[in-house]
Structure 1
Amino acid sequence: MFVGHAALAFALVASVALARGWDADRVFAVGLLAGGFAALPDVDIAYAVVGVAGVAGGDALTLASAFWSTGNVVHRAVTHSLVLAGPVALLAALRTAADARVRWLSVPLALLVVGAVGAVSGALGTVVTLLFVLGAVALGEVVARQTTLTARQVFAAGLVGLVTHPFGDLLTGEPPAVFYPFEATLVGERLALSTDPTLHLLGAFGVELATVWAAVIVGCVAAGLRPTTAVRPRATLGAGYAASIALIPAPTLDLSYPFVFSVLGVGALGLRPRIRFENARRPSIGPPDWLPALVTGLSAITVAWLAYTVVYVLL
């Protein structure tokens, strides 16, 4: 769900900006900021590198298992807290203030957040929170230098990104500690879309595809583009992916990598270079047009997912 978090936040915030009549540049700026904040909580997975380093030389599945088993030691805790979402979004907003004295208020706030977490979770929690805080500050600095967004708009976009992220994890793993550092629990178990673990994984993948499509559609509307005219017929070739049901293990949350990586590979159907014959001897080869490549690739992945799901259900 890494991409889904950012796509959902982008679609939500950018659509509100569109409804308010903002121009395309500001729509993309605030949408991308929300998407950046929605991806930021997963900075805690950086700790997983420790586990991967310990099994260097293993096969792909062994490395993936080590990655998640180590990363989950701190994953979906500190950085997924709704309690900390406000202060961390405020950090970025303060960095965009015109008054230098207001900008420097982010320093004691950052120290307060890191210190409070350190008192509760020790050294590892401190390191993760420091990465989290630095990420928010970096986003604020980029916004201040590259956009005209106000501090209030930065805070709102950041808050949407941080608050929506934990709920996107309810389908794919252990429920986040949304009230950290408090012990209260909002959702105690992962939400199940099906009692069949493969159908649950396919359903979760479909939800993520839907969020990506929402982001693409909102982005196209903001840019004045029509995605329906950019889809190429070769996207239907994605249906052939259904044959992989005989080649790869049935995907589940515990063994999703063969399916996820292979079905995403179907998106390469969108990457056809532009070839122009300026003369008979020297054809000109250029990169593919980005919109047809994006929409066709995403359509091919969607067709592949749907075809695989239908075949799985029928068999």
Structure 2
Amino acid sequence: MFVGHAVFAFALVAGAAAVRGVDSSRALSLGAVAAAFAAAPDVDMAYALVGVVSAQTTDALSVASQFWQTGNLVHRAMTHSVVLAPVVAVAAALWLRGRRLRRRRELVAAGALLASVVAIAAVVSGGLGLLIMALFVAVAVGIAEGTERLTDLGSRETFSTALVGLVSHPFGDLFTGLPPAMLYPFDATLLADRLSFSVDPTLNLLGAFGLELLTIWLALLVSLSLFGYSLRDAVDGRAALGAGYAVSVLLIPAPTLELSYPFVFSVLAVGMVGAAPRVGIRSRRVELPDRIAALCTGLAAVSIAGFAYTVAYLVA
């Protein structure tokens, strides 16, 4: 769900802004900032690189397993807290206001809030918590800095988009892996188990994959609307080739949340059909699709491939 978190926040914020009559440029800015903050909590996976570096093997599946085993020591903990999210959002807004108005008072206030968040993580989770939370707040400051430099959004809009991004993230994680520690630093559990689509582990994985595809489609449709593109014109008929992926049900292990890599990497590779050049039968000219057409056709091919695989799995 790494990508899904960002695109869902983008679709939610940019779509809501468009519905309210906000001009397309500003709606895109709002959505982009929300997407950046929605992706920020997963910075805790940086610790997983320790596992990759220390891995005693070059086998791809073993390295991937080591990556997740190491990352899960801190993943979905302090950075996924809906308790601390408003504090970070306020700090980001103060930072933007202080930088834009060149006022030290707001910058000091933002720094104090972020320092308190890091201190809480240090007290509750020790040195590793301090390290991860310090990285998280640094990313939040970086996003606020980018928002100040690249957009004309104000502090209130920055707070709102940051809050939507940070709070929406942990709820998306309820469908994969262990539920995040949403009430951190308090020793309380909001949800003890992840939400499942099916008792069948493969169908559960396919359900989560379908949900992520749905969020990407939602963000894409919002973007096309804001840019004035037609989805019908952007999707090429070659996307139907994704149906051929159904035969992979006989070639790769049945995917689960614990062993998803062969399925995910191979089904995403189907999307390359969108970037393939087109050869005119009569003109004999090679034409490269534009980026929008390549993206839409590729996503359509992946969606068809995922659906075809699901059908094949059910009837196999």
TM range (shorter): over 0.9
Matched residues in 1 for 2:287 and 2:23: separation? Answer: 31
Give yes or no for contact 2:196–2:204 (8 Å, CA) kept in 1. Answer: yes
- The letter for the 2-side match of 1:55 is A
Map 1:240-259; keep pairs closer than 5 Å.
240-259=244-263
Alignment of 1:18-29 (within 5 A): 18-29=18-29
Structure 2 partner of 1:40 = 40
Cα 1:145/1:275, change in 2 over 3 Å: farther
1:95: Cα distance to partner? 1.9
Deviation of 1:290 after TM superposition, in Å, equals: 1.0
Alignment partner, residue 288 of structure 1: 289
The 3-state SS of whatever aligns with 1:297 is: helix
- Asked if 1:231 corresponds to 2:248, the answer is no
The amino acid that maps onto 2:155 is A
The residue that corresponds to 2:169 in the other structure is 165
CA distance in 2, matches of 1:231, 1:258: 26
**Residue aligning to 2:123:** 119
What is the TM-score when the length of structure 2 is the normalising length? Answer: 0.95
CA contact (8 A) 1:52 1:66 kept: yes
Q: Where does residue 79 of structure 1 map in the other structure?
A: 79
Which portions of structure 1, spanning 4 or more consecutive aligned residues, are displaced by more than 6 angstroms? none
Distance 2:107 2:21 in 1: 29
Asked whether the 8 Å contact 1:91–1:140 carries over to 2, the reply is: no
Taking the aligned partners of 2:2 and 2:69, their CA distance within structure 1 comes to 17
The CA deviation at 1:286 is 7.3
| 1:275 CA displacement | 7.3
How far apart are the structure 2 equivalents of 1:92 and 1:288?
39
Structure 2 gaps, min length 5: none
Q: CA deviation at 1:111?
A: 1.2
Structure 1: runs of 5 or more not aligned: none
Instruction: Find the aligned partners of 2:15 and 2:166 in 1 and give their Cα distance.
Output: 17
* Equivalent residue pairs, number: 311
User: 238-247 vs 18-27, which deviates more?
Assistant: 18-27
Give the secondary structure class of the aligned counterpart of 1:173. coil
> Of residues 211, 216, 220 in structure 2, which corresponds to 1:212?
216
The equivalent position to 1:184 in structure 2, one of 177, 182, 188, is 188
Alignment of 1:119-138 (within 5 A): 119-138=123-142
- What is the CA distance between 1:288 and its match in structure 2? 3.1
Q: Deviation of residue 57 (structure 1)? A: 3.7
Deviations 1:105-156 (A, max 9, x none): 2111221111121111110000100110000000000110111101000110
Residues 89 and 162 in structure 2, CA contact (< 8 A), matched pair in contact too: yes
Matched, 1:268 2:263: no
Q: How far apart, CA to CA, are the structure 2 residues paired with 1:235 and 1:164?
A: 31
User: 1:260 is matched by which residue type in structure 2?
Assistant: V
In the aligned structure 1, how far is the partner of 2:288 from the partner of 2:239? Answer: 18
For residues 178 and 311 of structure 2, the distance between their equivalents in structure 1, rounded to whole angstroms, comes to 28
Q: Distance in 1 between matches of 2:6 and 2:24?
A: 18
Residues of 2 paired with 1:56 and 1:287: CA distance?
43
Q: CA separation in 2, counterparts of 1:259 and 1:184?
A: 35
Partner of 1:3: 3
* Higher mean C-alpha displacement, 209-218 vs 99-108: 99-108
Higher mean displacement: 178-187 or 287-296? 287-296
Superposition deviation, residue 59 in structure 1: 0.4
TM-score by length of 1: 0.95
Tell whether the 8 Å contact from 1:242 to 1:308 is kept in structure 2 after alignment.
yes
Return the match for 2:179 from 171, 175, 179. 175
Q: Offset of 1:274 from its aligned partner?
A: 6.8
C-alpha deviation, 1:253, in angstroms: 0.6
SS in structure 1 opposite 2:42? helix
Question: Aligned AA for 1:212?
Answer: I
